[in-house]
């Protein structure tokens, strides 16, 4: 149980830490990308305005049909910043070109330009090898007194930033992974520290329940014996009222003895102090005995109690605990079935799965609403407290049944519908 709580806490701690870390990484990475984008965009737009201004005179001359030679100033260009200038007829009049491998692709992009005038945008260019290059590209129209003279395109190769961001992303992902490992480790240690006081309190409470139940057993037996003695001694002289009081006392003492016994069983089970002695026995024979012991009660309630058996069925288990399990399930079935109802116990080896047996206790009683079906195995959980109390229930029977099944490596479940009946199905390794 504590290992489960510790694992759960570790998971919660690690998730919280990783969520914070992820949020931090995503926020800082997105912020960095945004700042870089803005900066490059503004840079290229300023460069475009500058180039447009510089080309104004050249384009004027071109307009006046003055022969202007095409200008190329690739010498001062490292290929990162480049420009192309075109007159109104689309004739290139000047350029400082980008890297050789992207020139053709860049010209195609410029010829099909649909961008907003003066606004730089991120443009992807594919190289012949399939490699991607990133550019910030801006086209700006050059006017002279309201008359268009041509267009200047400027661009900047920002592939190196892209590569840097990609590497940064990889490093951050690795950091995140590393922190995940550290978070799980730290979470596990922290969770271990947190559950120490809970563990101590739980142990103290468990010891208290075990000690109290143990100590209460002797006085309860003495009380029961005393009531028996008074009843047999004063049988003839006692008034009807006193007789009734003694009878009520006796039934309350029996009920208390049962609760104390059940509590002691569970407290010992929690502490791991119960020894399970496994031996090989015929479960059908044991079940036959339990069914026979219930026959008088079933007959009194006019309930048909049937046991469907299939010859000998050997199982390696604790005979006392398996009897107790059958006792709890059959007792409940008879308790929660109406007069003239039906209870059927079936024990068979599971088809298709060697080494497993299935015990099912079926009744056509009150049934269990779906919302309660998981909860009935919890301690002191009773659907109808008054009815359970009247029929001598403690709300601990199914918790003990579940413990017995689990300590034998099996499972228990219920299939039920309100007003139709319930079937408790136990699967046990044999
Ligand atoms: P109790 O001593 O009250 O019977 P259990 O732990 O054995 O305690 O059962 C828990 C609750 O589950 C019961 O109070 C009852 O409401 C419900 N229950 C158990 N068995 C049956 C059954 N066969 N049919 C209907 N309800 C049942």
Which residue of 261, 337, 376, 402 sits with most ligand 1 atoms within 8 Å of its CB, as the best mutation to test the pocket? 376
CA of 24 to the centre of ligand 1 (A): 52
- For residue 394, how far is its CA from the centre of ligand 1 (angstroms)? 9
Locate the ligand 1 atom nearest the alpha carbon of residue 399 and give its number.
Answer: 6
> Looking at the predicted structure, is the pLDDT value of residue 176 above 90?
no
Structure-model confidence comparison of residues 96 and 405, the more confident one: 405
pLDDT above 60 for 79? no
How much is the pTM? 0.60
Tell me the mean pLDDT in the region 381-393. Answer: 77
Q: Yes or no: say if 382 and 336 are a contact pair by the CB < 8 Å rule.
A: no
Taking residues 107-133, report their average pLDDT: 86
Ligand 1 pocket, Cβ-based, cut-off 6 angstroms: 332-333, 336, 363, 365-366, 368, 376, 381-384, 388, 393-399, 422
Rounded mean pLDDT, 163-168: 92
CA distance 53 to 152: 10
- Nearest residue by C-alpha to atom 14 in ligand 1: 382
What is the pLDDT confidence band of residue 272, given thresholds at 50, 70 and 90? confident
Average pLDDT, the chain: 87
Q: What is the pLDDT of residue 78?
A: 55
Mean local confidence (pLDDT), 129-151:
88
Query: Coil, helix or strand for 110?
Result: helix
Q: Is the pLDDT of residue 69 over 70?
A: no
Cα of 332 vs centre of ligand 1, distance in Å, is 6
The whole-angstrom separation of Cα 110 and Cα 423 is 78
pLDDT-based confidence at residue 68 (cuts at 50, 70, 90): low
In the chain the domains, ranked by start, together with CATH numbers, are: 1-54+163-274 (no CATH), 62-157 (3.30.450.220), 279-429 (3.30.565.10)
The pLDDT value recorded for residue 204 is 86
Residue 94 in this model has a pLDDT that exceeds 90: no
Interval between CA 42 and ligand 1 midpoint (Å): 76
- Of ligand 1's listed atoms, the one at least distance from the Cα of 385 is 14
User: Can you read off the two tokens belonging to residue 70?
Assistant: 């095409």
On the question of pLDDT at 29 being above 60, the answer is: yes
Strands 92-96, 71-72: pairing kind = parallel
**Under a CB-based contact definition with an 8 Å cutoff, are residues 318 and 286 in contact?**
no
Which tens digits make up the pLDDT trace of 329-371? 999 999 999 878 999 999 998 766 668 899 999 999 999 999 9
Cβ burial 223-261 (10 Å sphere, 16+ → b, else e) = bbeebeeebeeeeeeeeeeeeeebeebbeebeebbbbbb
pLDDT at 236: 67
When pLDDT is averaged across residues 31-40 and rounded to a whole number, the result is: 93
End-to-end Cα, the chain, rounded Å = 26
pLDDT band at 74 (very low <50, low <70, confident <90, very high): very low
**Residue 393 Cα: closest atom of ligand 1:** 2
From the CA of 396, how far away is ligand 1's center (Å)?
A: 9
What residue owns the CA closest to ligand 1's atom 8? 395
CA angle, corner 135, sides to 134 and 137, nearest 5?
155
Distances (CA, A) of 404 to 143, 170, 290: 93, 53, 16
pLDDT for residue 75 is more than 50: no
Which range of 24-38, 263-277, 340-354 scores highest in mean pLDDT? It is 24-38
- For residue range 205-259, list pLDDT tens digits in order: 888 888 888 888 889 999 999 998 888 876 667 788 888 898 999 999 998 998 8
DSSP annotation of 409 reads T
Rounded average pLDDT over 370-378: 91
Q: Whose CA is nearest to atom 20 of ligand 1?
A: 332
């Amino acid at each position: 149980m504590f290992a489960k709580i510790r694992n759960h806490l570790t998971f919660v701690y690690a998730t919280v830490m990783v969520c914070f870390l992820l949020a931090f990484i995503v926020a800082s990475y997105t912020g960095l990308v945004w700042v870089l984008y803005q900066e490059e965009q503004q840079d290229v737009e300023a460069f475009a305005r500058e180039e447009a201004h510089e080309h104004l005179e050249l384009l004027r001359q071109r307009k006046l049909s003055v022969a202007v030679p095409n200008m190329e100033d690739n010498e001062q260009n490292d290929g990162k910043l480049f420009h192309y200038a075109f007159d109104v007829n689309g004739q290139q009049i000047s350029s400082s070109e980008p890297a050789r491998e992207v020139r053709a692709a860049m010209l195609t992009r410029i010829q099909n330009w649909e961008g907003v005038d003066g606004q730089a945008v991120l443009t992807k260019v594919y190289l012949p090898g399939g490699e991607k290059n990133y550019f910030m590209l801006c086209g700006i129209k050059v006017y002279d007194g309201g008359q268009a003279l041509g267009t200047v395109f400027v661009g900047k190769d920002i592939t190196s930033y892209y590569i840097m961001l990609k590497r940064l992303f990889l490093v951050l992902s690795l950091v995140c992974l590393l922190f995940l490992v550290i978070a799980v480790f730290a979470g596990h240690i922290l969770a271990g520290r947190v559950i120490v006081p809970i563990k101590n309190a739980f142990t103290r409470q468990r010891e208290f329940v075990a000690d109290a139940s143990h100590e209460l057993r002797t006085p309860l037996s003495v009380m029961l014996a005393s009531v028996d003695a008074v009843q047999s001694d004063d049988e003839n002289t006692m008034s009807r009222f006193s007789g009734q009081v003694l009878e009520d006392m006796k039934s309350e003492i029996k009920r208390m003895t049962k609760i104390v016994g059940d509590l002691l069983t569970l407290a010992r089970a929690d502490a791991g102090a119960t020894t399970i002695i496994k031996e090989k026995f015929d479960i059908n024979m044991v079940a036959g005995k339990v069914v026979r012991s219930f026959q008088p009660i079933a007959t009194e309630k006019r309930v048909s109690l049937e046991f469907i058996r299939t010859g000998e069925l050997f199982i390696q288990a604790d005979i006392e605990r398996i009897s107790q399990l059958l006792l709890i399930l059959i007792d409940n079935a008879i308790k929660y079935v109406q007069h003239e109802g039906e209870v059927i116990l079936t024990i068979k080896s599971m088809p298709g799965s060697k080494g497993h047996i299935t015990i099912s206790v079926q009744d056509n009683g009150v049934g269990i609403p779906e919302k309660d079906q998981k909860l009935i195995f919890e301690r002191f959980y009773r659907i109808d407290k008054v009815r359970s109390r009247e029929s001598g229930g403690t709300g601990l029977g199914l918790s003990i049944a579940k413990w017995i099944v689990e300590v034998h490596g099996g499972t228990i479940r219920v299939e039920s519908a309100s007003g139709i009946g319930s079937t408790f199905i136990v699967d046990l390794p044999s």
